[in-house]
Amino acid sequence: MSIHIDPLEKRWISVIGGILIITWAVIVYYAAVDDVSPPSNVEVIDSSKLHLASGVGGGEFMEKNLGVKQDAQGNITVTMVAARYGFYPLHVDVPVNTPIKFRMASFDVLHGVLAPFSNLNVMIVPGYVSEITTNFTKEGDFPLICHEYCGQGHAYMYGMIHIVPKDQFKPKMGVK
């Protein structure tokens, strides 16, 4: 048994189909070609033991290991802890126009981080490491803003990224 569909409505249905296919195609194209995909590393860590060398994922987020690191190939990684109410270390220097990998873990509750006017936007869920790579194209000071309610001091949670010219960049932690 078929249903009655008005000819005009049939045309509208093809328009809907067209809109869907175009939208899907654009997103899949950029995901495949430009590797535009959301932060999704599915990596577990013991959030209550970030300060210890032991435990799941232990050591990486100890205080002495936080901050900016550059490896032998020149890749830059920023390791940060999100905790009520700040992103630690509170200040980091990174070079402009360079891919920067951020690795972040929460020490306590749910947090999120946003650097306005960039694609640095990720949830920081206790028990998981958040990894996101971004490229800052403008020099200057950018606040890191916590964008998920994390307690009554939530609005005061911040950090600061200083984006410096490439020739002024000196990784504080030295070459790993």
Partner 1 sequence: MAISQNTANEISTDTVNTGNKLAFWNFFVAFAAFALALPMGAYQVLERSGLFPAIDNAAVYYASTSSHGVLMAYVLSTFFIMGFGYHTAIHSLKMKLWSPKFAWTGFGVATFGVALAAVPLLTGNASVLYTFYPPEMAHATFYIGAALLVVGSWFWAVDMIVQMVLWKKQNPGKPVPVIMFGTVMNALLWLWTSAWVASEVVFQLIPAALGFNDTLDPGLARTLFSGTLHAIVYFWLFPAYLVMYSILPKEAGGKLFSDEMARVAFVMLFIFSVPIGFHHLYMDPMQADGWKLLHMFGTFLVAAPTLLTGFTVIASMEIAGRLRGGKGLFGWIKAMDCKNPVVLAGCLSLLMLTVGGWGGVINASYALDSLIHNTQWIPGHFHLIYGGTTVIMYFAAAYWLWPKITGRHLFSPRMARVQLWAWFIGMWVTTIPWHYLGIIGQPRRVDTLQAYQQAPELVASWDFSMLIMNAGALTLLFSGLLFVYLLIRSTMSGRVADGAEREVEYAEAIHQPFKVPNLLNSLTFWNWAMFFYLIASYGYPVLQFFLIGTPESILWGE
Between residue 98 and residue 127, which ones bind partner 1 under the rule CB under 8 A?
108-110, 112, 114, 116-117, 119, 121-127
User: Which residue among 7, 141, 167, 174 contacts partner 1 (CB under 8 A)?
Assistant: 141
CB of 92 to partner 1, least distance (A): 14
Q: What single string gives the DSSP state of each residue in 68-120?
A: EEE-TT--EEEEEEEETTEEEEEEEEEETTSEEEEEEEESSS-EEEE-TTSS-
Q: Is 45 in the site for partner 1 (CB under 8 A)?
A: yes
3 state DSSP class of 143: strand
- For partner 1, the closer CB: 6 or 167: 6
- H or E stretch including 140? strand 140-146
- Please tell me the count of residues contacting partner 1 according to CB under 8 A: 73
Q: Is 130 in the site for partner 1 (CB under 8 A)?
A: yes
Please name which of 37, 39, 47, 32 lies closest in space to residue 121, comparing C-alpha atoms. 39
* Tokens linked to 150: 């994390």
- For partner 1, the closer CB: 7 or 74: 7
- For partner 1, the closer CB: 96 or 125: 125
